[in-house]
Amino acid sequence: MRTALFSVLLSGVGCVLAQSSDSSPKFEVAAVRPGNAPAGRGVGIQPGLYGCTGGPGTPDPGTLRCSVSLGELLRMAYQLMPYQFTAPDWMHTSWFEIDAKIPVGSTKEQLFVMQQNLLAERFKLAVHWDKKQMQIYEMAVGKDGPKFKEWVDPPPLAPGATPYDRPKSAGPLKASDLRPNPDSPTEWQTIYGSHSRRGKTSMNDLGAYLSAQLDQPVINSTGLQGEYDIMLDYVMEPRPLPGRAPDPNPPPLAAGQTLLKAVESQLGLKLESKKGTIDMLVIDHIDKTPTEN
């Protein structure tokens, strides 16, 4: 089960429990200051609700700047899904500003270890891994087969053109018409509020995305090994953020299919709920206040 789950969790990068040592990757220098959650933004550990710029693979590979909750910083450092650790509510509302200098030539994987070491040194974080039984989803191909095709790279755009500059005779927009960001070819694009769609993706990456949206592990059992032209349009049902009470008067759900129904009807895949075992990060200790810069 651990091996299967690693394929969902982006090859298990977050499951390397780094210990601070002289040989372990560290920031050259890092400033950690108390901050405030940006106005109008939710405070939680769901992917996409934090702000970080710079780092390996970006135009500013030597600097990392973050405005994050302590819970989100921990999730990023260990590359966890939200269900892979339980933190006290104060970690989701304690906000920090971080400016760090990254050694030249560092990789993204080394950056994660630097963040782990930062938490250990400045917040005295101590953790260990454990196992937890919970409901998971197994993703398989439906009885009528998949409703998507292998990805085919689109022809180059004319100078100044966009993927949306297309004659009506060309038919409806396909996922392959959405040229993915070459630095992040599996990035989801959220449009029209809670509706999402995607272009080029593998089944493992699709499982990782669904895991984050459903807040439950999604194990890829499709047997499909390629990269595919995926379109998915759905309405996300509201759920409270960590540390927040449910909204007593939630807005009405927009028209459209829920995610589970959309996966089945639009992609020809089925998600079967069953019991499974996942890796869980357990927090043994963490200080509320970091040591001085």
Q: Say yes or no to pLDDT of 290 above 90.
A: yes
E-state strands within the chain: 29-34, 51-54, 63-69, 95-101, 126-141, 149-150, 189-191, 195-197, 200-202, 218-220, 227-229, 269-285
Which region among 12-26, 94-108, 118-132, 201-215 has the lowest average model confidence (pLDDT)?
Answer: 12-26
More confident residue, 81 or 114: 114
* Average pLDDT score over the chain: 78
Q: Say yes or no to pLDDT of 273 above 90.
A: yes
Task: Give the rounded percent of residues in the chain with a pLDDT score beyond 90.
Answer: 51
Q: Say yes or no to pLDDT of 136 above 60.
A: yes
Residue 119 three-state SS = helix
Confidence of residue 139 (pLDDT cuts 50, 70, 90): very high
Mean pLDDT of 47-60: 76
More confident residue, 269 or 82: 269
